[in-house]
Amino acid sequence: MLFVSDGMRSTATDNQAYDRTTSNTMHPLPDALIPGQPWTALAPMQDVTNLPFMQLLGKYGAPDLLFTEFFRVHGHSALDQPMIDSICQHGTGRPVFIQLIGESLPDLERTVQEIETRQLPVAGIDLNMGCPAPKVYKKNVGGGLLREPSKVDEVLGCLRAAINGRFTVKMRIGFDSDEHFDVILDLVEKHDVDLLSLHARTVKEAYRSEVHYEYIQRAAERLPCPVLANGNVTSVAKGQWVLDETNSAGLMIGRSCIRNPWIFRQLREHFAGQPIFQPTLADVRGYIEDLFQATGHRKRDELSHVNHMKKFLNFVGLGVDVDGQFLHEMRRTKSKADLDAVCQRHLIDNGRAEQLFPEEPIKGLIARPNCETPQGCKL
């Protein structure tokens, strides 16, 4: 029997953030770290939500629920060691869900059986129906599934039958429109999905448009399972606004926790009515050093390591200076010494160390121009 490791068994029916009646066939979620608070969750992000980043969030304040980066299921796939390590060695004490992406029913069923056979300590299995990368959706997986409700029906039915424990889904509101949104919500309910995480943009909108939070409200009011709101939850204030607007059971946060790894801690403090930790630029400098140490790899040379860091620092830099000079200089670094010098100038020198790190990203700065401007998304 799969999926619930010691210390993670759920009493989530006591969670006041979600009090709608659930069906007898559904599996309640693990409690929030502080029972009764809305759930917080780490969004699955490819090449980000791996073991080092999960461990780092454990230091800065882990969310209630962790989701792995997606595992691509196909005819020759087998769980690899990095994925297993993410599940078994993250050390946060919080439950982790493994995310699968695929459309081959026999291979999805085989992968579920492999997870069970290995007795991996996962809290559940999540299906990716939202990835907006063209190289993904062109293979009719991830967000590409949303074009075919009949295929969604088959995949959900297959996984629900194969999974003995929690089965969750992360999706967007549609592929290029909301044409199938209500039909797919019906399928989520039909197949007793235990949690829906909804990013309220279409696949084709990627990260460029405003988030259509009214769709999260519709899902939360309609479905018997909890719904997590996802998309541009950038701060504590924005998170509370989203909860109020959507009536969702909690928040799933991705890119914003790369910029601000304290956000899950801050949300818990806010929900509890406690003083909220306010990091300084010196704290951000410490986080960057922790990131560098965490992302080191014996097969990665210095230049490759620095370039890999830029994936994270593109988001951190949204809160450093209004002119975007940190981003400009950071993107041109080629060594650890270069990177250290940029951080020293922009985060420590001339009294900057004691400045507070902004709660919201600075308007006008863009983390990934290829993905967040009208020119297109090239993930």
Domains along the chain with CATH numbers: 12-271 (3.20.20.70), 281-369 (no CATH)
Instruction: For residues 266 and 277, give the distance between their C-alpha atoms in angstroms, rounded to a whole number.
Output: 6
Distant-in-sequence, close-in-space partners of 294: CB < 8 Å, separation ≥ 6: 52, 53, 55, 56
Mean pLDDT along residues 336-342: 98
CB 97 within 8 A of CB 168: yes
Predicted pLDDT at 20: 36
pLDDT digits (tens, 9 = 90+) for 226-261: 999 999 999 999 999 999 999 999 999 999 999 999
Chain centroid offset of residue 320 CA:
23
pLDDT at 250: 98
How does DSSP classify residue 260?
A: -
Tokens of 239: 């998170």
Check whether 159 has a pLDDT greater than 50.
yes
Query: What's the average model confidence in pLDDT over 143-159?
Result: 98
Share of the chain above pLDDT 70, in %: 90
Greater confidence, 331 or 2? 331
For the chain, list the strands marked E by DSSP.
Answer: 39-42, 66-72, 96-101, 124-129, 167-172, 195-199, 227-230, 250-253
Three-state DSSP state, 205? coil
Q: Which is more confident, 356 or 18?
A: 356
Q: Which of 88, 131, 343, 377 is catalytic?
A: 131
Residue 141 has pLDDT above 60, yes or no: yes
1 has a pLDDT exceeding 90: no
Does the pLDDT at position 123 exceed 60?
yes
In angstroms, rounded to a whole number, what is the distance separating the alpha carbons of residues 167 and 161?
Answer: 10
The model's confidence at residue 2, banded by pLDDT at 50, 70 and 90, is: very low
CA-CA distance, 108 to 324, in Å (whole number)? 44
- What local confidence, expressed as pLDDT, does residue 352 receive? 97
Three-class SS of residue 71? strand
- State how far the Cα of 350 lies from the Cα of 171, in Å rounded to an integer: 45
> Which band of pLDDT confidence, cut at 50, 70 and 90, is reported for residue 189?
very high
Cα first-last separation, the chain: 37
What is the mean pLDDT of the segment spanning 322-337?
A: 97
Q: How confident is the model at residue 369 (pLDDT cuts 50, 70, 90)?
A: low
Instruction: Identify whether 225 is a catalytic site residue.
Output: no
* Mean pLDDT in residue range 332-336: 97
Tokens 């019906």 correspond to 186
